[in-house]
Amino acid sequence: MLRMADKRAAEGLLKDLGEVLAQRLGLNPVFLPFPSKRAAPAVATGAADLLCYAKPEWLEADLLWTQPFLSGTGIIAAGPNAPPVSQLQDLRDEPLGTVLGYRYPVIDQALTRPIPREDVADAETNLRRLALGRIRYAVTDRDALAYYLKRHPTPSLREVIEVEHYQLGCALSPAKAGLLQPLNRAIDRMRADGTLDKLLNRYR
Q: Which amino acid is at 73?
A: T
Note the pLDDT of residue 44.
Answer: 95
Q: What pLDDT is recorded for position 180?
A: 98
Q: What is the pLDDT of residues 126-173, one digit of tens each?
A: 999 999 999 999 999 998 899 899 889 988 899 999 999 999 999 999
Amino acid letter, 121: A
| pLDDT for res 74 | 95
Q: Which amino acid is it at 43?
A: V
Instruction: Summarize the confidence of residues 20-47 as an average pLDDT.
Output: 92
At 81 the pLDDT is 87
Read off the pTM.
0.82
- What one-letter code names the amino acid at 3? R
Domains 3-70+167-201 and 74-165 share a fold: yes
**How much is the average pLDDT of 30-47?**
89
**For 82-88, which contacts have Cβ atoms below 8 Å and span 24 or more sequence positions?**
82/136, 82/137, 82/160, 83/136, 84/160, 85/137, 85/160, 85/161, 86/161, 87/161, 88/161, 88/163
Q: Does residue 3 register a pLDDT over 80?
A: no
Return d(Cα 12, Cα 104) in angstroms, integer: 24
pLDDT digits (tens, 9 = 90+) for 56-111: 888 878 999 999 999 999 999 999 989 999 999 999 889 999 988 788 889 999 98
All structural domains of the chain with their residue ranges: 3-70+167-201, 74-165
In CATH terms, 74-165 corresponds, of 3.40.190.10, 3.40.50.2000, 3.40.630.10, 2.30.30.220, to 3.40.190.10
Question: Does residue 11 register a pLDDT over 90?
Answer: no
Q: How many CB atoms lie within 10 A of CB 125?
A: 15
Fold classification of 3-70+167-201 (topology level): D-Maltodextrin-Binding Protein; domain 2 (3.40.190)
Q: What Å distances lie between residue 83 and 94, 132, 153, CA to CA?
A: 11, 16, 20
Please check the confidence at residue 35 and state whether its pLDDT lies above 90.
no
Q: Are 122 and 36 in contact (CB under 8 A)?
A: yes
pLDDT band at 1 (very low <50, low <70, confident <90, very high): confident
DSSP class per residue in the chain: --EEETTEEEESHHHHHHHHHHHHTT---------HHHHHHHHHHTSSSEEEEE-GGG--S--EEPPP-EEEEEEEEE-TTPPP--SGGGGTTS-EEEETT---HHHHHHHTS---EEEESSHHHHHHHHHTTS-SEEEEEHHHHHHHHHHS--TT-EEEEEEEEEEEEEEE-GGGGGGHHHHHHHHHHHHHTTHHHHHHHTT-
The pLDDT score that the predictor gives to residue 147 is 86
Average pLDDT over residues 42-58: 93
pLDDT at 124: 87
Residue 5 clears pLDDT 90, i.e. is over it: no
